[in-house]
Amino acid sequence: MLTLSLIGIGCGDPEQLTRAAITAINAADLVLIPRKGSAKSDLADLRRTICTDVLANKATSIAEFDVPVRDAGEADYRKGVDDWHDAVAAAWSRTIASHLGGEGKVALLIWGDPSLYDSSLRIARRLNPLPMIEVVPGITSIQALCAAHALPLNDIGEPFLVTTGRRLREGGWPQGVDTVVVMLDGGTAFQSLDPEGLHIWWGAYLGMPDQITMSGALTEVGPRIVALRQEARERHGWIMDSYILKRRP
């Protein structure tokens, strides 16, 4: 039997690891570390640091693999993502087969939590052979962002919506909510909105030593976030950020 543990490791701070995550890492025969190119080498470095810090089982092997790049030029967005998931699943399968064969316990350290805007569960179900899948939850970027700003996410008795930058840019402000959480924004989709009456809480590299945050009325801090985000992206070669927008009466 092949078992795959998808272990949420939080957003960058190794102290965000739960005891369950540490136990699952040490129970693995093989820990997979994805490499996403030199521009995102920090992400692989963090996973290596976590393994060095918490891995007490000397019998556990570590294997690194290169993550295929998604074709951003594919006109059909869903087909492009679907093809990319197939390619990533094939890379996982090859790496596992070359180190374990068809049985054993494999651990994959997942940024944030596997349940929220993460592809690992969908990819895992495409593996050949299909493993038994276990999930160890982790702290999400939404939790880390709220903590960084000491912000309660929902207003009393009110809903909120979690969406992507692409959906916000294409569809505008969602109906029926006054609080929107935006993730996976490759740019600054909030610029497509009328900023009047909106407040933003923004954060990048959450949980990491280079964490930066900013908040305020969107009319005032929006342009500053755009400039700071561009500067940070040029300095690091990559950026992972998210933000919360609230509509005020």
Give yes or no for residue 188 having a pLDDT over 80: yes
Backbone angles phi, psi at 129, to 5 degrees: -75, 155
| Domain shared by 9 and 82, yes or no | yes
The number of domains in the chain is 2
The pLDDT tens digits of the residues spanning 153-166 come to 999 999 999 999 99
Q: Give the confidence band of 178 by pLDDT, cuts at 50, 70, 90.
A: very high
Q: Does residue 231 register a pLDDT over 70?
A: yes
Tens digit of each residue's pLDDT (9 = 90 or more) over 52-99: 999 998 899 999 999 888 877 777 888 889 999 999 999 999 999 999
Closest CA to 245 of 191, 180, 187, 192: 180
Q: Is the pTM of this model over 0.85?
A: yes
Range 177-182 average pLDDT: 98
Q: Are 158 and 46 in contact (CB under 8 A)?
A: no
- Pick the closest to residue 48 from 32, 60, 37 (CA basis): 32
Domain boundary pick from 92, 108, 139? 139
Q: 242, 234, 203, 206: which is closest to 46 by C-alpha?
A: 206
Q: Which domain holds residue 45?
A: 2-139
**Is residue 172's pLDDT more than 90?**
yes
Instruction: Look at residue 232 and tell me whether its pLDDT is greater than 80.
Output: yes
CA 162 to chain centre: 14
6 in Cβ contact with 120 (< 8 Å): yes
The CATH number of the domain holding residue 53 is: 3.40.1010.10
Q: Which two three-digit tokens encode residue 107?
A: 């651990």
Q: How confident is the model at residue 249 (pLDDT cuts 50, 70, 90)?
A: low
In this predicted model, what pLDDT tens digit does every residue of 95-143 receive, in sequence order? 999 998 778 999 999 999 999 989 999 999 999 889 999 999 999 999 9
More confident: 248 or 187: 187
* Section 199-219 average pLDDT: 95
From CA 158, how far away is CA 215, in angstroms rounded? Answer: 21
**Whether residue 96 is found in the same domain as residue 112:** yes
The pLDDT assigned to 152 comes to 96
> What per-residue confidence (pLDDT) applies to 244?
98
Burial class of residue 165 in the structure, from the number of CB atoms within 10 Å of its CB (0-12 exposed, 13-18 middle, 19+ buried): buried
Nearest CA among 87, 84, 105, 7 for reference residue 47: 7
Of the candidates 139, 155, 171, which is a domain's last residue? Answer: 139
Q: Is the pLDDT of residue 39 over 70?
A: no
17 and 121 both lie in a single domain: yes
| Among candidate residues 96, 123, 139, the one where a domain is terminated | 139
Average pLDDT, the chain: 92
CATH number at residue 149: 3.30.950.10
Distance (Å, rounded) from C-alpha 43 to C-alpha 35? 8
